[in-house]
Amino acid sequence: MRRILYGFIGSVLLLLTSCMSSDLVENWKNPEIDLFAAEKVLVLAMTNDVENRQRFEKKLVDELEKKGVNAVVSDQFFDKEYTQRPHTQEELDLLENAMLEEGFDAILVSKIIGAEDRKSLLQSYDGFDTLFNSFEEDYYTNQKIYAEDEYMDVYTVYHAESALYCICPTKERETIWKGSIDITQPESTRKAIKDYIKILLWVLEEQQLLIINDGKGI
């Protein structure tokens, strides 16, 4: 039954991501947590690109609020100068206490952790489902492979990561969930953000995290 369930989830995810620039690579959920319903979530994108950080956080907050989750962008909590220098563990402890005083009980953090260039055999892949009647037909159709520059496509894959942490008085920023998502050849930054958030929310819902108090998922 578990294999069937995993296969079903995988099929749904494949359909979801087939026309998107983001793909779920892996995700981990704290085995000690079945459900998690936060009263107030701080959304934080860690990047020095202020414009795209604000765009990402606002889009994610808007989508969460549509689903009944009380979420807040980081600019409403952090001072403008806060990210301008590194902070000590003691300072972060004070920050967590400030979050608790403001009613936050969870923080959803997202960031780009790396990038790599890849090559795609576009023409070869395009013909994968073609059934050739003969060797001559196969060779004639695919002989452009010998001219590598004509069918090799170089593209960049960005490796991103999101994590949901509990801001709890009795625990030290306990990890509730963590996921890795690859971003590939987005048509635009706006589409990349939209696709990433769609995958992120889908996974959180499947894992029964950030559910609203009436018991319905996000």
Burial 48-70 (b: 16+ CB within 10 A, else e): eeeeebeebbebbbebbeebebe
pTM of the prediction? 0.74
Instruction: Indicate the average pLDDT of the chain.
Output: 79
Distances in whole angstroms, Cα of residue 82 to Cα of each of 74, 86, 95, 202, 206:
11, 9, 10, 31, 34
H runs (alpha helix) in 35-178: 50-66, 89-101, 122-126, 135-142
Domains of the chain plus CATH, in order, are: 22-118+153-206 (3.40.50)
Q: Tell me: the pLDDT tens digits for 72-129? A: 999 998 887 787 788 888 888 888 889 999 999 999 999 988 888 776 655 444 455 5
Question: If phi over 0 gives left and psi between -120 and 50 gives alpha, with beta otherwise, what is residue 175?
Answer: beta
Tens digit of pLDDT for each residue in 159-190? 899 999 998 777 666 899 999 999 887 678 88
Read off the pLDDT of residues 30-88 as tens digits, 9 standing for 90 and up: 999 888 888 899 999 998 888 999 999 999 999 999 989 999 999 998 887 787 788 88
